[in-house]
Structure 1
Amino acid sequence: MEQSVTLVGVIFSIHRNDQQQSIQLDGIDQFGLIVHIDSDTELLCAHGKAISFDELEISMVVKVEHPLALTMSIPPQTYAYQVMVLQS
């Protein structure tokens, strides 16, 4: 299994189109981190129950497990293995 890291952040924006879903943590525009989410990403509420991408909201505090690798873009981007809502 690939090594991963966990970070806690606040959702500042939510992006969705036909090909991709993502959230931006701790900033907008060139700040923060963009986290890509797909059907393999585990989305959980604070109690550990599954939720949908549509239940994520701006200002939620989330814990994200992602690979060590980040893109060199501004802002950096990564893929989420798991997103857990800690606080709504």
Structure 2
Amino acid sequence: MACFLLDGRNPQKFYEAIERFQELESEIGRVNPECWKMMLQTVKKGTTFHLASDLVEETAQQLSAALITEPGPMLTHAELDTLSLPSHEEIL
């Protein structure tokens, strides 16, 4: 079904892709017919797309929590003055 929806050379609307996918029932391999029917019902309801949105939102929250850190406290002028940076002559 993804091939029908994502094919840039032949893009199809969602319901057209479902119809074509449903026509392939005899060519899907060894999928239990009851599983096939349940999968089609789930796709037609659109509930899979709601789950995808939830997954994207949860992933974004976890990534931001893991990757975004709060900066530490700023150094005061006195603390900056105590840091000894090499002079130009010391570098050469």
Structure number with greater Rg is: 2
Of Structure 1 and Structure 2, the greater strand share is in 1
| TM-score (norm. length: structure 1) | 0.20
